Structure 1
């Protein structure tokens, strides 16, 4: 499938200038240095939640995001008909730019999309200040799902596992090749020395969550050094949520799932949706804030009700350039 690069935004600054209205370029440049990045699994384009698409758009609006990595962008269609591309519709209604990554993932942004990476894992964005960043987005394989394997919760035909080593190997077998291919594209653009953000539904928890302390608190059955998040961090990324909320017992940041109750014996609530950032070694660069968006104040920092997805969303406010 050829990448679809859809430029939908209206050049407002040029319009204002043509009308003779003041354009605060300095303010635009300053604002561009603070970038809000959202990761959001739509749940079959928002259709599965049986809510109008307005509710999905409201999540994006409430996040105040500039860049959004979307997963499950295809809506529900009758048998033998193509899935409608809800991400394209969302971008059109917001007046944003859109890149279709294929495989029902996509990136939308209020910033101009300059070009995709060769295998479509990411795009280069042009900020209003003229600076550039890269945004990558992933939806990793959903099955086998190792937390269910460990907790003996039937899911597909996956066998149960018992030990950390077995869970780690199963996770590597499930997602290792996807992670390696994505990180190869990140490495390929590293010479440009631009900030890089990575969003995604990993369908795998974080090694920073399944710790000895979390196991003692009975938040997980045992410590597991989950390999996908570990590989991303080893490639130079920082887990935005855990950089602001380092204690996995005090701040769980659960994104999976609003659709079942806490303690449901047939489920395991976890943090599997992430915003990672690379380039924080730059002077002044920082993660300023991270928030969970969901269905209730007990589960989220930003509440949208009724909530349209089976994943809570996560938004990070990032200071990517600090030398102005």
Structure 2
């Protein structure tokens, strides 16, 4: 009996670091700007950074399936050549990778005419079923550009809306609200069946938590406090914005993900409104609270530089950054969140 107890104790000690490592669940949201094809060496940089960070899940935006092959499958093959095993769910416009075998996958909202997409997969981690979804929402009718004096459809200069009601009317023309309601509907089924739910994506819309009284005269918000609707819908349905939860001070931790500076690309290709300060946080990771899922930390993944009025600007915020090793493959910055998965 003593021998048996001793062996069990040794197993606990020897396996301790492995057990602890398995309790961390890392999620990367990354808009890769047409699969990195806009930047020399972009695809290779995507592969290298994923191999370096080893996220459990990756939610991609701007997947195009170029090269006559499915991008996510191609990434899986490239990662395998680096000794990293991943699984993928086929998609278009957005995509999903998992370090864990995928047990289910569905197209919640297939991409149609640039109006966005939502895909869902389920994986088992430490015996826990986790539903991970990715979105890349409608990039037409982006009302936050109108606030800066640009038409988000044709990218022409226009008079700036004077009221929040005008802005929300423009915003309502997009299909983002309808899309996110489809996600909520699907997620509620997962929640009812006991699954954890995580959502990552490029929402093409700022947050109501960012366009506040504190920021109304900054970043060319032009004095407006806007209750942007997509993050608000998620908030009202119990979903948690991981980054803003850890860093609620919007002045010290703005968390901008677009437009990202990229030394390999001319500035005029990195911004849609070159005469405006269009910095925003439009890439997010949300999750639904679960007793066995604990938010641990979050960081912005990418260079600290942004594009402000067609000029390169290094951010002086307190945002935590994971900086790239070499080539940055996109005009967005990613979001990297670590959860603790309790046993």
Is 1:134–2:154 an aligned residue pair? no
**Among candidates 68, 72, 96, match of residue 58 of structure 2:** 68
Is 1:319–2:317 an aligned residue pair? no
Distance 1:286 1:35 in 2: 10
**Among candidates 289, 295, 303, match of residue 279 of structure 1:** 289
Q: Deviations over 1:250-305 (max 9, x none)?
A: 1111100124489952450110000111124x16x421111111124745711113
Is 1:86–2:68 an aligned residue pair? no
Is 1:241–2:243 an aligned residue pair? yes
Larger Rg: 2
CA contact (8 A) 2:137 2:179 kept: yes
Distance 2:299 2:51 in 1: 14
Number of residue pairs the alignment of both structures matches: 290
Bigger drift between 146-155 and 129-138 goes to: 146-155
Q: Deviations over 1:201-251 (max 9, x none)?
A: 000001110011111455632111000001111221110100111011111
**Among candidates 25, 30, 34, match of residue 44 of structure 1:** 34
What aligned pairs does 1:103-118 form with structure 2 within 5 A after superposition?
103-117=92-106
Change beyond 3 A, Cα 1:171–1:91 = farther
**Among candidates 249, 255, 258, match of residue 256 of structure 1:** 258
CA contact (8 A) 1:117 1:185 kept: no
CA contact (8 A) 1:45 1:87 kept: no
- Cα deviation for residue 60 of structure 1 reads 2.2
- Cα deviation for residue 25 of structure 1 reads 6.3
In structure 2, the residue matched to 1:148 is 145
Distance 1:164 1:252 in 2: 21
In structure 2, the residue matched to 1:187 is 188
CA contact (8 A) 1:46 1:308 kept: yes
Distance 2:196 2:211 in 1: 28
CA contact (8 A) 2:220 2:277 kept: no
Change beyond 3 A, Cα 1:57–1:177 = same
Distance 1:30 1:117 in 2: 31
Change beyond 3 A, Cα 1:25–1:115 = farther
In structure 2, the residue matched to 1:289 is 297
Change beyond 3 A, Cα 1:234–1:211 = same
CA contact (8 A) 1:47 1:76 kept: no
Structure 2 length-normalised TM? 0.77
In structure 2, the residue matched to 1:306 is 327
Once superposed, what is the RMSD of the aligned Cα atoms? 2.5
